[in-house]
Structure 1
Amino acid sequence: MANTYTQIHIQVVFTVQNRDCIIQETWKNELYKYISGIINNHNHKVLAINGMPDHVHILIGMRPTQSLSELMQDVKGDSSKWINQKKFTKGKFSWQEGFGAFSYSKSHINQVIDYIKNQEEHHKKWSFLEEYRTLLEKFEVEFDQRYIFRGVDYGNDIFQQQ
């Protein structure tokens, strides 16, 4: 796309199916490298990636050549297939449907990178549910609680589980 100049920074957050805590320390870095490779192969740039056993955060420098939904479909589909081929989990691995996406200006990129890098410290103070709700509210994203990430045994929306 000649003469197209953009600066698009998106933080994406998505969870393991049922928010199961199954991303293990022994293979999470390999997973992050694999996901980064998928994103880079689509000519986008991973600025930061990290997460917890039940979810992942990625800060992406997006090119306008692909929609975010298409990219996330590839990331989640290809990485699920890869995890299952590697037999990292006992049962079939899958990501939960949907994702959160939040855009940032260049002046906020270093703060977001630090935030993503420090997920372990951050989650000593906040649960994923509190974190996700805060992001949605901070960015004034309208949401229906019936469709927010569901927990393992509850079948209720996440906010009723707290």
Structure 2
Amino acid sequence: MPQSLARVVLHVVFSTKNRVPFLKDSELRARLHGYMAGVMRALGCDPIRVGGVEDHVHILCNLARTIAVAGLVEETKKSSSKWMKEQGATYQDFFWQAGYGAFSVSQSNVEQVRAYIAMQEEHHRKVSFQDELRALFRKHGLEIDERYVWD
């Protein structure tokens, strides 16, 4: 085949370091999500939905065939962390946690995951971030060592 084509849809989740609720301001959070979407576009990864709440973010995107998952996450975190620090003195101590969860999404489930990310505020009135992530890991057959997940 002379042309390389790929369609890999990812759901990526990560929190602020120690889950500090830096993203309480919904306007700032929306701007951050838009900024992150721009970073992904620049990497050739089409963002489908970026959302979250005060202490974590969910990303649903198409992974470009020219970048690894780790590279996408690293650049998105690095750029958005720098952007957050530029938003004022309140955010000088802003950091993302070191790790992340990344899950494949079949094309038939893209709309379901997009809707799930869109409803994060409502979802987290009932479910903590830790329980949400545990459920995602279970659903995708990943065992975790909780000593190393919650930084």
TM-score, normalising length: structure 2: 0.94
1:80 aligns with 2:81: yes
Aligned residue identity for 1:21: P
1:55 equivalent in structure 2: 56
Partner deviation per Cα, 1:26-63 (whole Å, 9 max, x = no partner): 31111011100000001111001110100000001111
Q: Which runs of 4+ in 1 moved over 4 A?
A: none
Using the size of structure 1 for normalisation, the TM-score is 0.88
Aligned sequence identity (%): 36
Once the two structures are superposed, the pairs formed by residues 1-162 of structure 1 within 5 Å of their partners are 3-23=3-23, 24-87=25-88, 89-150=90-151
- Secondary structure of the residue that 1:57 maps to in structure 2? strand
Distance 1:84 1:139, change over 3 A: same
Residue 87 of structure 1 and its aligned partner are, at CA, apart by 1.4
Q: Counterparts of 1:106 and 1:53 in 2: how far apart (Å)? A: 28
Q: Which residue of 2 aligns with 1:158?
A: none
Query: How many Å separate the matches in 2 of 1:74 and 1:136?
Result: 23
Provide the secondary structure at the position in 2 that maps to 1:76: helix
Separation (CA, whole Å) in 1 of partners of 2:82 and 2:145: 30
The alignment partner of 1:132 has SS state of helix
Closer/same/farther in 2, CA of residues 88 and 71 from structure 1, 3 Å limit: farther
Gaps of 5+ in 2: none
Q: Report if the CA contact (8 A) 2:85-2:91 is conserved.
A: no
Tell me how many residue pairs correspond in the alignment. 149
CA positional deviation for 1:89: 2.5
Structure 1 spans left out of the alignment, 5+ residues: 151-162
RMSD: 1.2
